[in-house]
Amino acid sequence: MSDSAPNATLFLEKRSYRRRRLKDALRLLPVVGVLLWMVPVLWPSGASHPADPTPVAMSSAITYVFVVWVLLILAAAALWWVIGERGSAETDP
């Protein structure tokens, strides 16, 4: 038999819970990046049908991709910094 009841709630310390969620967010960034990079594929090209709206310029699509790339790098750096700060705060006595 186990010592805990089957319906007992598990208590997680706030710091460790938040740190785990930040790590999860860091792991999710590549998926978010791929989804954001797929957005230009959905933009109208103007070649499929004459009634299509004006096509988006290739320079706009490339600018979008690089802006998303830079934002992902900054988000990863910010999350990594916050995780590092919280990790060092947990180890200090």
Could you read off the pLDDT of 36-61 as tens digits, one per residue?
Answer: 999 988 887 766 666 666 778 889 99
- Taking alpha carbons only, the member of 34, 56, 29, 33 closest to residue 45 is 56
Give me Rg for the CA atoms of the chain: 22
pTM of this structure: 0.68
- Binned at pLDDT 50, 70 and 90, residue 84 comes out as confident
Query: Domain limits of the chain?
Result: 14-46+55-91
Q: What does the longest C-alpha to C-alpha distance in the chain come to?
A: 72
Q: Which residue has the higher pLDDT, 67 or 92?
A: 67
Count other C-beta atoms under 10 Å from residue 50's C-beta.
6
